[in-house]
Amino acid sequence: MKICTTRKSLQGYLEQLKQDGKTIGFVPTLGALHQGHLSLIALAQQNTDVVACSIFVNPTQFNDPKDLEKYPRPIASDIEKLEHANCDVLFNPDVSEMYAGNEQWHLEIGELEHLLEGKFRPGHYQGVTQVVYKLFDIVKPDIAFFGQKDYQQFLIIQKMVGLLHLPVKLMMCPILRDADGLAMSSRNIHLSAEERQHALILSKALNWLKQNFDRNQIPSLKNECEAMISAEPGVELEYFEITDGDNLHTADSHTKKIVALVAAKVGKTRLIDNVIISWQLSVGS
């Protein structure tokens, strides 16, 4: 696996591959890789000739400095995992390589920026679009691969690609779960054994909703799931919403694409999860 730490070295390497007619798949990450990330690498390998992964803990998307500080950075272990997965290229830049001085960035994303995650993490999606735009500009991928677990992030990046007319196709990849149902996340390492058991209520509530879903009962189903999660010890619910999969507005009996999304703190660890209930049209159509 080729490891690049500067824009110049990465661009030079990828440019040669593009001249040889190779298509580039890109998996941007914050590192602390798990099987969910590696599933994105595998999907990129199936759909493109060369797979580039980035590991960069982007400071502009953390609205809590303590969260940034404690974000895990096991780079040696991450490199080993990528090599084992036969990833072709790793881009692992320093902050100074990605940001020059006091840069300003604001993209008019619209209301999507302020719903759900945006309400609890103000400014987060400006930081996400800022760094993803930079990464797209450096890598110039044919297809970029993102996990469904960060569903709202996918919608935001999709909006950015449309607004800025970026020549990249986006692919949303399924959530990977541990055997107990917990959605894989780099944050899971912060959970104690007891907290992990309590955290399972998130996927249990989402599964229960999917199994019992009735379009005409959306408000009462939402209340039922909220009560289920709030009753779990050590779990502080931030939101549970049943939404239109295109715009995250509250779903109703006429909504075609329905996605349920949840966020909660388990102990001191903030977790998110979601499930697709109805998917009559694919994202991006």
Catalytic residue check, 37: yes
Contacts with 76 (C-beta within 8 Å, 6 or more apart), sequence order: none
Instruction: Choose among 233, 225, 234: nearest CA to 274.
Output: 225
Cβ density class 173-184: b for 16+ within 10 Å, e for less: bebbebeeebbb
Q: Which amino acid is at 132?
A: V
d(CA 161, CA 210): 31
Contacts with 133 (C-beta within 8 Å, 6 or more apart), sequence order: 107, 160, 164, 166
d(CA 207, CA 193): 22
3-state DSSP percent of the chain in helix, strand and coil, to 5: 45, 20, 35
Q: Which of 34, 37, 114, 198 is catalytic?
A: 37
Measured CA to CA in angstroms, residue 19 lies from 10, 89, 123, 166, 207 at distances of 14, 17, 38, 20, 47
Catalytic residues: 37
